[in-house]
């Protein structure tokens, strides 16, 4: 299984009800780092699943969803100010 990659997911959703549904979907897979910004470690299959689920909720003419892949080298160069920190990679999972 491929290792998860680091993504920043941001949205701008006009409707409160849609925004809440999309936020809950993203909270299930990532860390909320700002009101409409999430950081997540996802495999390609997980990312595709999330994008399909969110895509069914979005209204393309009104809403926006952006997914940014951040490579491991670039992840180390992320600068933050104030509260919060960059989401750490997931730990080892023993099944």
What was the pLDDT predicted at 87? 87
In a domain, 82, yes or no: no
Q: For position 9, which CATH number holds?
A: 3.30.70.240
In a domain, 90, yes or no: no
Q: Tell me the pLDDT tens digit for each residue of 28-62.
A: 999 999 999 999 999 999 999 999 999 999 999 99
pLDDT band at 16 (very low <50, low <70, confident <90, very high): very high
3-class SS of residue 53: helix
In a domain, 19, yes or no: yes
* Boundaries of domain holding 66: 5-75
Specify the pTM: 0.87
Domain count, the chain: 1
For all residues of the chain together, what is the average pLDDT? 91
* Strand positions, DSSP E, 13-95: 31-34, 37-42, 64-70
Residues with Cβ < 8 Å from 86, sequence gap 6 or more? Answer: 39, 75, 78, 80
């Amino acid at each position: 299984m491929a290792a998860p990659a680091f993504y920043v997911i941001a949205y701008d959703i006009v409707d409160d009800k849609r925004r809440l549904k999309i936020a809950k979907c993203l909270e299930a897979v990532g860390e909320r780092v700002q009101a409409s910004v999430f950081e997540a470690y996802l495999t390609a299959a997980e990312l595709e699943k999330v994008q399909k689920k969110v895509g069914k909720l979005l209204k393309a003419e009104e809403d926006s969803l952006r997914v940014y892949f951040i490579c491991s080298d670039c992840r180390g160069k992320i600068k933050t100010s104030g509260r919060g920190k960059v989401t750490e990679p997931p730990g080892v999972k023993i099944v």
